[in-house]
Structure 1
């Protein structure tokens, strides 16, 4: 058996970023055993990324910089062979640790002012950001293995259970309470028409008054609505939703929620509010997913049982396992991590 790969995971305070890094690590663990050390970092406001990028081009003491800019005890990192992180507040730490340890590093996200040569492999969801050989486009990964969930590769009939992922304002979109009321009214109408059930989950981004609204709706309609409230259930509670839901409706503000549903091969419908416009980079990413047939988009005000079924039946979820696809990509781009493993 291949030796255990010692990985350092830098984590910020954004669960979505951590999930992306964990998704990369999960793909690697698909091919070889790993040992992961998680180190939480908070970049000092005295060291913005622009300054860090400039300092990395100088002869400054890298150990000192990692310590003062990120409050990292460098002695804890000894022996780590791979650095993985996501999120701008981890990027400088990722590069510094890789230099100090002589380790390979992977980053998911935009490199901002940093030199692509400082990252062995940068993964991005935006195909138009692949301006350097070290930058490769890839679907936002999840630590969940699609093969552990029932596969729904098409919608040939009315889904019996629909998952609903609710976020909040973000990515240029602004949801009103009327938007959420409209979504819940749709759930009622769809149930009345087809007797289908809904599993609804909120997120840390969801306003409390919106979460309260959903909780009240679920309490009145417990026969067909289950509410997973992140305020009480905590993080990591979505696997049951994905396991039981044949399709997923996700508010369009969260690229991570949309991507995870697609990653798990669920026909996915992104729900837009009446107000706001998706940021350009995100709009391009969603357009890629729509073109591939993995995603459909609709305004909440246009939700009807017929319109939703029309969109869902036109989708073609991925048939392959995206975790395996990512593992294959990593093995191709970073063969030293996998050595003599046979190609799949």
Structure 2
């Protein structure tokens, strides 16, 4: 189906401004765009007070109030003038607004996150990483990401054009920082740099390295001090000169290494259909939900979870590491078509 043949859909995205939730909404839009011509309206709404969650859940579970009362609970942008066909969003605090607005307009809705005491019947599609959930839940292996093989090919061509002389086999190293139960020490950063040197020498590869907002200048200085730059093909030091080249790096890499502190970088790597090694520092205590995701993906051989001092220890687990066999974005697009619009 060509762009001109796609049926139009007006989509309202309810956003709480959280980067991870924003990226999931972008992933949902990307999947919807496979079958529909989208007219997208981003509406930022923030719950006025945390204690409003329980009263809102009680209210919405009973009936859908007039939208004139929305301002009693949320602050932010005015609603768009054009009626929505679909209302989407991510994050628990947005769930109430998504259910409320969509039902008031008799529009379909798509939500990523936990329901926070809301009835599942208020939603048409709830995207979760837990397996084998009944409708309206849609069980996914990876969170929605605005990425597919066509985008990756374009990103790879761009990077190759800018680096025509690089002929080495390339692996990506994506570095986060404290978060999701991970706490990095100076020793962790030093060990990570030393392990990168060992892996590059053992495997005959060069690294595409990118730090992130959470890494910090101090950690970057330690990495710079201990890395052998002979093994680096391209690098982004986020605190010095930030560049958004994550998709370029993944696109030209045969394998990706990613910190366990960043669910979003993990999901992008898996969506790119690349084998993924997930490393963590000495102190790593993820919550139960995150632990379950890591265990499931590890048991299915889509990721290898390792303490960062063991990255250079090649073993049988690496030989059986595999990539996803399908495009998550195309699969999600078909789920929406079958369950919401057929």
User: For the superposition of Structure 1 and Structure 2, which TM-score range results when normalised by the shorter chain?
Assistant: 0.7 to 0.9
Equivalence map 1:330-341=2 (5 Å) = 330-336=336-342
- Provide the C-alpha distance between the structure 2 equivalents of 1:258 and 1:331, rounded to a whole number of angstroms: 26
Tell me whether 1:303 sits opposite 2:306 in the alignment: no
User: Per-residue displacement from partner, 1:135-193 (whole Å, max 9, x unpaired)?
Assistant: 1211212101134335xxxxxxxx82111111222222222221121111111122333
Q: Secondary structure at the match of 2:234?
A: strand
Give aligned pairs, total.
324
Match of 2:144 in 1: 141
Contact 2:43 2:79 in 1 (8 A): no
Match of 1:53 in 2: 57
Distance 1:287 1:147, change over 3 A: farther
Greater CA drift, 6-15 or 201-210: 201-210
Normalising by structure 2, what TM-score?
A: 0.86
Match of 1:245 in 2: 253
Contact 2:171 2:206 in 1 (8 A): yes
CA RMSD, Structure 1 to Structure 2 (Å): 2.5
Greater CA drift, 315-324 or 187-196: 187-196
Q: CA deviation at 1:194?
A: 4.0
Q: CA deviation at 1:33?
A: 1.3
Tell me whether 1:327 sits opposite 2:333 in the alignment: yes
- Provide the C-alpha distance between the structure 2 equivalents of 1:223 and 1:255, rounded to a whole number of angstroms: 26
User: Per-residue displacement from partner, 1:226-278 (whole Å, max 9, x unpaired)?
Assistant: 32234465574311111222111011122221121011101001102111322
- Provide the C-alpha distance between the structure 2 equivalents of 1:70 and 1:232, rounded to a whole number of angstroms: 37
Match of 1:316 among 316, 322, 332: 322
Match of 2:287 in 1: 279
Normalising by structure 1, what TM-score?
A: 0.85
- Provide the C-alpha distance between the structure 2 equivalents of 1:333 and 1:9, rounded to a whole number of angstroms: 20
Contact 1:189 1:305 in 2 (8 A): no
Q: CA deviation at 1:94?
A: 0.9
Contact 1:267 1:312 in 2 (8 A): no
User: Per-residue displacement from partner, 1:183-232 (whole Å, max 9, x unpaired)?
Assistant: 111111223334421112222332342234345567x7266253223446
Q: Secondary structure at the match of 1:71?
A: strand
Match of 1:260 in 2: 268
- Provide the C-alpha distance between the structure 2 equivalents of 1:214 and 1:207, rounded to a whole number of angstroms: 11
User: Per-residue displacement from partner, 1:107-151 (whole Å, max 9, x unpaired)?
Assistant: 0111121111111110101227x3x5211211212101134335x
User: Per-residue displacement from partner, 1:76-118 (whole Å, max 9, x unpaired)?
Assistant: 2531110111112211111121122211100011112111111
- Provide the C-alpha distance between the structure 2 equivalents of 1:18 and 1:73, rounded to a whole number of angstroms: 16
Distance 1:114 1:233, change over 3 A: farther
Tell me whether 1:125 sits opposite 2:134 in the alignment: no
Contact 1:294 1:317 in 2 (8 A): yes
Match of 1:96 among 72, 87, 100: 100
Contact 1:169 1:205 in 2 (8 A): yes
Distance 1:65 1:231, change over 3 A: farther
Match of 2:72 in 1: 68
Distance 1:265 1:75, change over 3 A: closer
- Provide the C-alpha distance between the structure 1 equivalents of 2:284 and 2:313, rounded to a whole number of angstroms: 25
Contact 1:11 1:40 in 2 (8 A): yes
Q: Secondary structure at the match of 2:47?
A: coil
Contact 1:12 1:41 in 2 (8 A): yes
Contact 2:207 2:231 in 1 (8 A): no
